A and B are shown apart, each in its own frame.
Chain A
Amino acid sequence: MSYPKRLCITGSKFLLLLCLIVWGHSSAHAANFIVIANKSVVESTLTKAELQGIYLGEKVKWGNRKHIKIAVLEEERTLKEFLQAILGKTPSQFDQHWVRMVTTGKASMPPAFTEAQQMIDFVAKTPNAIGFIAHGQTGDAVKTIVIK
């Protein structure tokens, strides 16, 4: 009767695979970006899952039922760090996700900016907008969102 032993080995392999998956997604580098929002946004904190939902186009409403306007910073280093830490995606995977959203009519393409100041200006003047920039670049025109 070698079944229990075989099951045990199979179970161990499955657990090892699960550990590898979880480890692979928890080994992101320490965040080197900050999330900013228009001052009309009532939230001051977001969970990582909520931010994930926002940048995948799943969570589209703030707590006050206002429609979320997302924006993307294309500066390579910050974009890569943000996408890896929050979404677990590479820039090309993120692009493909939004190409799918747009070509199936589910959403508009988020506006993208090459300079942090452009992003800050957009978020500052657009009610219910959210964006991200590298550390230390924010001003008084926008609020900072804490990621729990």
Chain B
Amino acid sequence: MKKALTAMMLLAFAGSAHAVELAGVEIHGFASQGYIKTSPDNNFPVSNSGEGSFNFNDFAVNFSKEVNPDLRVGLQLLAMDRGSYGKDKITLDWAFGDYRVTDWLGFRAGKIKIPLGLYNESRDNDAARTFIFLPQNEYYDYERDSVNAITGASIYGSIPAGSTGTVNYQFQIGTTPIPLDGASARNYSAYISTVDAPLTTTDVNSATAFVHHLEWRTPVGVRATFSGLHTSFDGTATGIYTDPVTSATTPVTAKWKFDSWHRYILGIEYVLDDLTLATEYQRDNYTVSADYQNPALENFTSKQASDGWYVSAAYRFTDWFELGGYYTEIYADRHHRDGSTFEELGVGAPWQTWQKEKVLTLRFDPVRNLVLKVEGHLIDGTWNMSEYTEASKRNWYLLATKATVFF
């Protein structure tokens, strides 16, 4: 994959700065390599970031062809590494056919990117944004593999709204494939594991998912979006229960379910010359249940209500330098933002139920098709680190650098 991508890059730079075209097939791609370092006890989102890690990259190449002026087909292959997941395994990121009837009506079928919030569709390509990490409430790295794309069909279009701008819409129906070796499956395992019974998910089934997305683009630089994702999924997780008193062990085969998952995101972006301001609010409601099928473990059903928001600003000072920053807050339980429920259940400290981040990013574009970034995070809380429940630092840092070439 890397060799093929390198060859593509060289071909791209040798010819047009915009694309490679072979036999009517347009080829684009990007390659990012980063380095990440976090506080030693808090590994996120790369599993060995505490000691500093280069297991932090993304590679993609896409192919598209215009079959006729109204019909396009294409696909993108993506490989990424985040330490314990990704591992540069090549995956089909998206692949669909797109038939545009008119400006206000088009159809897509296949594996289609999910339009959640302002940036979910384009979150993979580092060159398309200011920050290395988009705010982790709306664009949680561990969740990317389950909200990246939907396998099914969509209708979409653009409707002129007179002097108030344009309304773009998308409706999608299908299933969201969740890979067993991905970060989402690990997260679900962590969710239902206990101290005495660490479990690994061995099977995941997604129910039919429905996505709606409205974007209002005004003529004065304001873009507002409202998105929703509605789905359910269940699975099986296995492991060994170890009795804390006798040390006797018994096998566990747990059935778990995330039922009636409803996610809503409201976003507003404002662009004025070189200044970009953005804010988004996300709210999740779902019910988690686990049937451990083992008398030593207590089954549970729990209603969850989480939320989070951010504000961001980015300013491009010159053609080659941009400065950006954001502040974000994420809460596992929006009805108890102080973390009291976690404390009362005796499953952790209050600060493990939230994550509040201050982020500053420097972006450099020294030459066309090359982007360099440096980013620092100061973080209070560890809610997003559920895979690594032993994270012990409430206040911690994350430093990252990334270089991206794209064509």
Q: Which of A3-11, A51-59, A132-140 contacts B (4 or more CB under 8 A)?
A: A51-59
B residues near A117, Cβ cutoff 8 Å: none
Residues of A within 8 Å of B219, CB to CB, are 25, 48-49, 52, 88
Asked whether A99 lies within 8 Å of B125 as measured between CB atoms, the reply is yes
Q: Is the CB of A21 within 8 A of B30?
A: no
Given contacts A21-B221, A49-B166, A105-B74, contact A59 B272 (CB under 8 A): no
In the assembled complex, which residues on chain A have CB atoms less than 8 Å from the CB atom of B168?
58
Centre residue among A65, A91, A99 by max chain B CB count within 10 A: A99
**Cα A106 to Cα B72 with chains together (Å):** 9
Across-interface contacts of B103 in A (CB, < 8 A) = 53, 58-61
B166 touches A105 (CB 8 A): no
Interface contact A24-B221, CB-CB below 8 Å: yes
Determine whether B296 belongs to the interface, using a CB cutoff of 8 Å to chain A. Answer: no
| Contact present for B128 and A100 (CB under 8 Å) | yes
A102 located at the interface, meaning its Cβ lies under 8 Å from any Cβ of chain B in the complex = yes
CB distance from A99 to the nearest CB of B (A): 5
Given A100-B122, A108-B64: A88 touches B221 (CB 8 Å cut-off): yes
Q: Which of A85-126 contact B (CB under 8 A)?
A: 88-93, 96, 99-100, 102-106, 108-109, 111-112
Q: Does A13 contact B (CB under 8 A)?
A: no
What DSSP secondary structure best describes chain B's contact surface? strand
* CB <8 Å contact, A89 and B272: no
B96 close to chain A: CB less than 8 A: yes
Nearest-CB distance from A128 to chain B (Å)? 8
Q: Contact at A92–B66, with CB atoms within 8 Å?
A: no
Interface bits B71-106 vs A (CB < 8 Å: 1, else 0) = 010111000000000000000001010101011000
CB–CB A103/B220 < 8 A: no
Residues in chain B near residue A24, CB distance under 8 A? 220-221, 272-273
- Highest count of chain B CB atoms <10 Å: which of A50, A100, A103: A103
Q: Hey, which chain A residues are within 8 Å of B270, CB to CB?
A: 21
**Docked-complex contact B28 and A109, CB < 8 angstroms:** yes
Of the listed residues B19, B165, B220, the one surrounded by the most CB atoms of chain A closer than 10 A to its CB is B220
Is there a chain B Cβ closer than 8 Å to A66's Cβ?
Answer: yes
CB <8 Å contact, B124 and A96: no
Q: How large is the interface on A (under 10, 10 to 19, 20 to 34, 35 or more residues)?
A: 35 or more
Q: How far is the CA of A96 from the CA of B130 in the complex (A)?
A: 10
Interface residue? A22 (CB, 8 A): yes
A59 and chain B: residue at smallest CB distance: B103
Q: Which residues of the other chain, A, contact B19 by a CB distance below 8 angstroms?
A: 102, 108-109
Verify if B316 is at the interface (C-beta below 8 Å from A). yes
Does residue A77 face the partner (Cβ distance < 8 Å to B)? no
Please determine whether A21 and B165 come into contact, CB atoms closer than 8 angstroms: no
**What residues of chain A lie closer than 8 Å to B72, measured between beta carbons?**
105, 108
Q: What string of 1s and 0s marks CB contacts (under 8 Å) between B186-220 and chain A?
A: 00000000000000000000000000000001011
B390 on the A face (CB < 8 A): no
Min CB distance, A59 to chain B, in Å? Answer: 5
Nearest A-chain residue to B108, judged by Cβ: A105
**Residues B128 and A93 in contact, CB atoms below 8 Å apart:** no
A-chain residues with CB within 8 Å of residue B273 when the two chains form the complex: 24, 84, 90
Q: How many angstroms from the CA of A111 to the CA of B66 in the assembled complex?
A: 14
Name the contact of B128 in the complex, choosing from A99, A105, A108 (C-beta under 8 A): A99
Taking CB atoms, residues of chain B closer than 8 Å to A60 are: 100, 103
| Distance between Cα atoms of A146 and B328 in the complex (Å) | 45
Q: How far is the CA of A103 from the CA of B75 in the complex (A)?
A: 10
A residues apposed to B, CB below 8 Å: 21-22, 24-25, 48-50, 52-53, 56, 58-61, 65-67, 84, 88-93, 96, 99-100, 102-106, 108-109, 111-112
Task: Beyond the given A52-B219, A105-B62, please list 5 additional residue pairs across the A-B interface where CB-CB is below 8 A.
Answer: A58-B166, A102-B62, A105-B76, A105-B94, A108-B72
Interfacial residues, chain B to chain A (CB-CB below 8 A)? 17-19, 26, 28, 30, 60, 62, 64, 66, 69-70, 72, 74-76, 94, 96, 98, 100, 102-103, 113, 121-122, 124-125, 127-129, 158, 160, 163, 165-166, 168, 217, 219-222, 270-274, 276, 316, 319, 322, 365, 406
26 residue pairs A–B, Cβ–Cβ below 8 Å: A21-B272, A25-B272, A49-B219, A52-B219, A53-B103, A58-B158, A60-B103, A65-B102, A84-B273, A88-B219, A88-B220, A91-B319, A93-B271, A96-B128, A99-B122, A99-B125, A100-B121, A102-B19, A102-B62, A103-B30, A103-B76, A103-B124, A105-B98, A108-B66, A109-B19, A112-B17
Q: Name the 5 nearest CB pairs between A and B, nearest first.
A: A67-B69, A100-B122, A58-B158, A25-B220, A105-B74
